[in-house]
Amino acid sequence: MVLAMPRRSNKLWIGLWSVVLTASPCVGQVGDTRTTAEKDTPEAARVENLQQAEDLWAELRKLGDWNEQVGPIADTIERYWSQNGWTSEADQFAKLA
C-alpha cells in the first residue's frame, strides 16, 4: 500500500533524510576512548546507538524550523536532478518518491 502525501510533506521527508544520511556517518567518530572489549558488549552497542541518535537529533534541531528549511532543500534537490539530466518519467517519479 502506498500512502499519498501532500507534495510539501514529500519535500520535508526528502530534506530530513538528506540531512540524516549526510550527518549519520559523522556522528560518534571523534573522542571514543573505549577499548575494543568495552565496545563489543550488547549493552555498550545500545548505549552507543542511543548516544548517536541523541547527537544527531541535537544537530538537526540546530537547523531551526523545518517549515523554513523545506524550500531551500527542495530547490537543491530540484537543481541536482536537473544537473544530472534526470528528466524521464521514471526519474521524476523517483524524485517524488
The alpha-carbon radius of gyration of the chain (Å, integer) is 18
As a whole number of angstroms, the distance between CA 16 and CA 73 comes to 9
d(CA 23, CA 6): 26
| Contact in structure between 74 and 96 (CB atoms under 8 Å) | no
* CB neighbours of residue 82 within 10 Å: 10
SS3 36: helix
pLDDT tens figures, 32-87: 566 666 667 888 888 889 999 999 999 988 888 888 888 898 999 999 999 999 98
Lowest mean per-residue pLDDT among 11-15, 54-58, 69-73, 91-95 = 11-15
Q: Rounded to 5 degrees, what are φ and ψ at 64? A: 95, -160
Q: pTM for the complete prediction? A: 0.39
C-alpha cell at 47: 548505549
